[in-house]
Structure 1
Amino acid sequence: MLVSMNYLLSVAKKNKFAIGAFNVADSSFVRAVVEEAEACQAPAIISIHPTELSFLTDDFFAYVAKRTSNSPVPFVIHLDHGGSFDDVMRAISCGFTSVMIDGSLLPYEDNVTLTKKVVEAAHSIGVSVEAELGTIGSTGTSVEGGVSKVIYTDPAEAEDFVTRTGVDTLAVAIGTAHGIYPKDMEPKLKLDILADIANRVDIPLVLHGGSANPDEEIASAIEIGIQKVNISSDMKAAYFDKCREILSENTWWDPNVIYPDCIDAAKEVIRTKMKLFNSINKVELYLQ
C-alpha cells in the first residue's frame, strides 16, 4: 500500500524503530527494495533524487505507484534533496507521497521561507514534507553531493524552524556524509546534538548519509530519535560490484541473465539494514 510519510513514520516513532529510505536508480533497484520489503514484512521508503527522476522520466513512476499500491506492505515514494519548488511540484505530479525541500545551503530565513511555501502547497493535497538544517558532508562518491565541512544542526534553531514551517520531518546534520567513506575518513556521529534536538521537537528525525557508518552508532541514533535512515551507496555498490564480476567473467548481453544476481546482492544489503533499523516484521503494526 502507498501511504504518506506522516503515517509511516508516526508508527515507527511510537514503536521506536526506523525505516530505510533506499535511493533507487532504475527498475532493478525498485524490485530489490519492494521484493525484500515484502519478504521481510518491513515498511520501506522508495527514495529518488531529482537527477534520478530526470533519468527515469515521470512516466516510470506510474509503474512504481501501481506496484507499491498493490502490495500489502506500506511504502512511501519520496523525493530526496529537492532543490527547488519546481522539483517538488514535479514529484507531486508524479504521485510521490512525500517530498524533501533542501534549503540547507540557503541563509536560515530563506530556508524557512522556502520550506514554508512547500509545506503549504504539499499539505493542501496530503503530501508530507521533509526539510534539512545544517549540512551533510561529501565523500566525493555520490551524486547527492554534500559539503567539505559539516555544519552541525543547531538544536535551538531546529526547534524554531519546525515551529515556523510546520514541516513533517527534519533531516539533521550530526556528522554523516553522502557516499562511501574513504579508508582514511572515519565518521563520528555527534549523538549529543541529536539527543538535544530530539528533546526539543516532536516530529520524526532523519539521518542522511547512512551508508558505511558503524552499526552501533546507527543503532544508538535510532534509540535516541531517528525514524528514517537514508541508504544509497551501500546498496548500489553491492549491486554494481556483482555486475562487474559477472561481466568480467562472461560475454552475456541479456539483462535477464546479468541482473538477477545483482538484484540479489542489493537485497542482501537492504535486508541487513532493515535488521539494523529493527523494521523487520513491523508491517503488522500498520494493520491494527
Structure 2
Amino acid sequence: MLITGKQMLDVAKENHFAVPAFNAGSGQLLTAVMEACEEAKSPFMMAIHPLELEFLRDSFVSQVIYEANHSKVPVAIHLDHGASFEQVIHAIQLGFTSVMIDGSHLPFEENIVMTQKVVEAAHAVGVSVEAELGTIGDTGNTVEGGVSEIIYTDPTKAKEFVERTEIDSLAIAIGTAHGIYPKNVEPKLRLDILAEIAKIVDIPLVLHGGSSNPDKEISQAVDLGIAKINISSDIKISFADKLREVLDSGNAEIREPNVVFPDCNLAAKETALHKINLFKSDNKLDLYY
C-alpha cells in the first residue's frame, strides 16, 4: 500500500514507534526489506538518495511502486537528502510520495527560504516534506555525506523553523553520523536535546545516521519521540559481508544471481528485522487500515 510520508509518520508519532527508512539501494536489498517488513507487519519508508537514484536509474522507482501496490505493508517512497529544488521536482514526477530538502548546510534564513519553496510545490500535489536543522556527522564512505563536526539542533530554532516552513517532519542533529563509526569513536546521543525539542515541536521527528548507535540509545530516542530512523549502512554491510563470503567460498563457477544473492538477501533481511523490532514498528499494520 503506497502512502505519503505524512500519513505514515503521523501514525507513528501518535502511537510511539519509529518507522524504519531503509536506503535499500538495489533490487536485492529492496526484496530483503520488503520481505522483512511483510514478515514483521511493519510499515517502512523506501529511502533513495539522489546518488543512489542516479545509479539505479529512474525505472527503479517503478519497481518500488509495484512492490508497494502489491503488498499490505504501508510503504512511502522517500527522496533522501535532496540537495536542490530540481532534484525534488524530479522525484515528485517519478512518483515519490515523500521528499527531503536538505538545507542544513545553509544559514538559517536561507534554509527556511529553500524549504518553503519545496513545501509549496510538494504540498500542492499531495507529497510530504522533510527538512533538516543542525548537521549530521560523516564517518566516511557513504552516499549521504555529512560534516566532520556536528552542529546540534537548537530547540528554539527548531520550533521557529517548523512554524515558518510548515514541513511535515523534521530531521534533527543530536549526535548521530552517517555510516559506521570508527572503532576509536563511541557514539553518544544528546537525548536531552531530543526531549526538549519533542516538548515544543508538534510534528514527527527524524533521526538520520541510525546505524551503529547502541540499541539502548536508539530505543530511548524512540520513547522520547523519534518517529522515523534512517538505516543505510547496517543493511548494506550485512549484505556485502555475506557476498564476500559467498564469492570467497572457493567455487569459481558461482555466477548466477539467483545463486549468489539469496544468502546475501537473508543477511540483510535479518538486520532489517532487528531494526524493526528495535524501533517498535512491528505488528503496526492495523493502525493504517
Match of 2:13 in 1: 13
* Aligned positions of 1:124-139 closer than 5 A: 124-139=124-139
2:8 maps to 1:2? no
Opposite residue 164 of structure 2, the aligned amino acid is R
Give the fraction of aligned pairs with identical amino acids, expressed as a percent: 59
* Aligned positions of 1:37-48 closer than 5 A: 37-48=37-48
Match of 2:265 in 1: 263
| Alignment TM-score, normalising by the size of structure 2 | 0.98
Q: Deviations over 1:88-140 (max 9, x none)?
A: 01111110000000000011111000000000000000000000000000111
2:261 aligns to what SS in structure 1? helix
Q: Do the aligned residues in 1 keep the contact of 2:32 with 2:266 (CA within 8 Å)?
A: yes
Match of 1:62 in 2: 62
Opposite residue 186 of structure 1, the aligned amino acid is E
Q: Deviations over 1:239-272 (max 9, x none)?
A: 0000000001122111110001000000000000
Q: Do the aligned residues in 1 keep the contact of 2:6 with 2:168 (CA within 8 Å)?
A: yes
Distance in 1, Cα, partners of 2:270 & 2:236: 11
The number of equivalent residue pairs is 287
* Aligned positions of 1:213-252 closer than 5 A: 213-249=213-249, 250-251=251-252, 252=254
Q: Deviations over 1:132-162 (max 9, x none)?
A: 0000001113121110100000000000000
Match of 2:279 in 1: 277
1:46 aligns to what SS in structure 2? strand
Match of 2:202 in 1: 202
Aligned-pair CA distance for 1:24? 1.4
Distance in 2, Cα, partners of 1:281 & 1:266: 20
| Alignment TM-score, normalising by the size of structure 1 | 0.99
- Structure 2 residue runs of 5 or longer lacking an equivalent are none
Distance in 1, Cα, partners of 2:17 & 2:136: 23
Aligned-pair CA distance for 1:69? 1.2
- Structure 1 residue runs of 5 or longer lacking an equivalent are none
Distance in 1, Cα, partners of 2:230 & 2:125: 25
1:76 aligns to what SS in structure 2? strand
Q: Deviations over 1:74-99 (max 9, x none)?
A: 01000000000011011111100000
Match of 1:114 in 2: 114
Distance in 1, Cα, partners of 2:233 & 2:20: 13
Distance in 2, Cα, partners of 1:236 & 1:121: 33
Distance in 2, Cα, partners of 1:144 & 1:286: 30
Aligned-pair CA distance for 1:35? 1.4
Which stretches of structure 1, 4 residues or more, deviate above 3 A after TM superposition?
none
Distance in 2, Cα, partners of 1:76 & 1:32: 16
Match of 1:253 in 2: 255
Opposite residue 58 of structure 1, the aligned amino acid is D
Q: Deviations over 1:163-200 (max 9, x none)?
A: 00000000000000000011101001001111111111
2:104 maps to 1:104? yes
